Amino acid sequence: MSSSQPSVGLKARIDELIADFPEHQPRPAGAELALQGIRIVDFTHYIAGPFATTILADMGAEVVKIEAPQRGDDFRQYPPMEPAFEGGAPFVWCNRNKRSIALNLKSPEGLAAARALIAKADVVVENFSTGVMKRLGLDYESCLIDNPRLIFCSVSAYGRDGRFADRLGFDPIAQAESGFISMNGYPDREGVRALSPVMDISTAMMACNAILGALFARTRTGKGQSVEVALFDNAVLMTGYAPLQQLFSGKEPVRPGNTSPDSCPSGVFYAQDRPFLINSGNTQIFRRLVTQVVGLPHLASDPAYATNKDRLERREEVFAMLQEVFGREPWSHWQERLREAGIPCGVLRTVAEAIRSPEARERALVTRVPHPELGWVPNVSLPIRYSDTPLADPVLAPRIGEHTNRVLVDWLNLDEASIRSMAEAGAFGANATPDGSDTTAALQSSNC
Largest CA distance in the chain: 85
Active site (annotated) includes residue 200: yes
Q: CA nearest 391: which of 43, 22, 64, 24?
A: 24
266-270 vs 275-279, strand pairing mode: antiparallel
**Per-residue confidence (pLDDT) for residue 6, from 0 to 100:** 64
* Amino acid of residue 248: F
**Per-residue confidence (pLDDT) for residue 4, from 0 to 100:** 62
d(CA 94, CA 256): 32
d(CA 289, CA 300): 9
**Per-residue confidence (pLDDT) for residue 372, from 0 to 100:** 87
**Per-residue confidence (pLDDT) for residue 352, from 0 to 100:** 97
Residue 189: φ, ψ to 5°: -150, 175
Local confidence pLDDT in tens for the 448 residues of the chain: 344 666 767 778 888 889 999 999 999 999 999 999 999 999 999 999 999 999 999 999 999 999 999 999 999 999 999 888 899 999 999 999 999 999 999 999 999 999 999 999 999 999 999 999 999 999 999 999 999 999 999 999 999 999 999 999 999 999 999 999 999 999 999 999 999 999 999 999 999 999 999 999 999 999 999 999 999 999 999 999 999 999 999 999 999 999 999 999 999 999 999 999 999 999 999 999 999 999 999 999 999 999 999 999 999 999 999 999 999 999 999 999 999 999 999 999 999 999 999 999 999 999 999 988 888 999 999 999 999 999 999 999 999 999 999 999 999 999 999 999 999 999 999 876 554 334 333 333 333 3
d(CA 74, CA 2): 20
**Per-residue confidence (pLDDT) for residue 14, from 0 to 100:** 85
Report how far apart, in Å, the C-alpha atoms of 308 and of each of 190, 260, 280, 288, 298 are: 28, 12, 9, 14, 16
Question: Residues 200, 233, 410, 438: which is the catalytic one?
Answer: 200
**Per-residue confidence (pLDDT) for residue 434, from 0 to 100:** 53
Q: At what angle do helices 404-412 and 108-119 cross, to 10 degrees?
A: 50
Write down the CATH superfamily of domain 266-355: formyl-coa transferase, domain 3 (3.30.1540.10)
d(CA 264, CA 283): 9
What DSSP string runs through 298-367? Answer: HHHH-GGGSSHHHHHHTHHHHHHHHHHHHTTS-HHHHHHHHHHTT--EEE---HHHHHTSHHHHHTT-EE
**Per-residue confidence (pLDDT) for residue 339, from 0 to 100:** 97
**Per-residue confidence (pLDDT) for residue 441, from 0 to 100:** 37
Asked, colleague to colleague, whether 8-238+373-444 and 266-355 share their fold, the answer is no
d(CA 8, CA 92): 19
Report how far apart, in Å, the C-alpha atoms of 31 and of each of 35, 40, 230 are: 12, 21, 35
Each domain of the chain, given as residue ranges in start order, spans 8-238+373-444, 266-355
CATH of domain 8-238+373-444: 3.40.50.10540
